[in-house]
Amino acid sequence: MLSKTRAIIDCDVHNTYRSQVELYPYLAEPWLSRLKEKGFGYPLETFYSSVQAKRLDAKPEIGPAGSDYPLLKNQLLDKFPIDYAVLTGEGISGLSYMPDIEYPAVLASAYNQWLVETWLKQDERFLGSLHLAVQNPEAAAAEIYRWGAHPKVVQVSIPTATTLPLAHPFYRPILRAAAEMDLVIALHFRQPGPSAPNITPVGMPFNYMDYHTLVSLPYMSQLVMLVSSGVLEELPNLKFLLMEGGFIWVIHLLWRFDKDYKALHRLAPALKKFPSEYIYQHFKFGVQPIYEPNEADKLQQVIEAGELQHNLVFGSDYPHWDADEPDFIRRFIPQEWEQGIFYDNAATWYKFFKQPDQ
Domain count of the chain? 1
Residue 316 has pLDDT above 60, yes or no: yes
* pLDDT for the residue numbered 15: 96
Q: Which residue has the higher pLDDT, 42 or 346?
A: 346
Q: Is 13 helix (H, G, I), strand (E, B) or coil?
A: strand
Residue 43 has pLDDT above 80, yes or no: no
Report pLDDT digits (tens) over 249-261: 999 999 999 999 9
| Lowest-pLDDT choice from 67-81, 148-162, 286-300 | 286-300
- Tell me the average pLDDT of the chain: 91
| Lowest-pLDDT choice from 147-151, 211-215, 277-281 | 211-215
4 occurs within a structural domain = no
What would the mean pLDDT of 274-281 be, rounded to a whole number?
97
| Lowest-pLDDT choice from 148-162, 201-215, 283-297 | 201-215
Rg (CA), the chain: 20
Domain with residue 301: its CATH number is 3.20.20.140
**pTM, two decimal places:** 0.94
The amino acid at residue 47 is: F
289 occurs within a structural domain = yes
2 occurs within a structural domain = no
Q: What share of the chain is helix, strand, coil (3-state, %, to 5)?
A: 45, 10, 45
Q: How far apart are CA 32 and CA 39, in angstroms?
A: 10
As a dihedral over the C-alpha atoms of residue 242, residue 78, residue 348, residue 281, rounded to 10 degrees, the angle is -20
The amino acid at residue 121 is: K
Give one DSSP letter per residue of 164-206, joined into a string. S-TTSGGGHHHHHHHHHTT-EEEEE-----TTSPPSSTT-S-S
Residue 128 has pLDDT above 70, yes or no: yes
| Lowest-pLDDT choice from 38-42, 305-309, 324-328 | 38-42
Residue 142 has pLDDT above 90, yes or no: yes
153 occurs within a structural domain = yes
CB atoms within 10 A of CB 115: 25
As a dihedral over the C-alpha atoms of residue 266, residue 269, residue 271, residue 276, rounded to 10 degrees, the angle is -30
Residue 358 has pLDDT above 80, yes or no: no
Residue 27 has φ and ψ, to the nearest 5°, of -120, 145
152 occurs within a structural domain = yes
Please report, for residues 280, 289, 313, 343, the alpha-carbon distance to residue 304 in angstroms, rounded to integers and kept in the order given.
13, 19, 15, 19
Question: What range does the domain containing 255 cover?
Answer: 9-354
Give one DSSP letter per residue of 215-256, joined into a string. THHHHHHHHHHHHHTTHHHHSTT--EEEESS-SHHHHHHHHH
3 occurs within a structural domain = no
| Lowest-pLDDT choice from 23-32, 94-103, 279-288, 344-353 | 94-103
CA nearest neighbour of 275 among 260, 285, 294 = 260
* pLDDT for the residue numbered 1: 33
Confidence of residue 4 (pLDDT cuts 50, 70, 90): very low
* pLDDT for the residue numbered 323: 85
Bridge partner list, 53: none
Q: How far apart are CA 181 and CA 171, in angstroms?
A: 16
* pLDDT for the residue numbered 355: 66
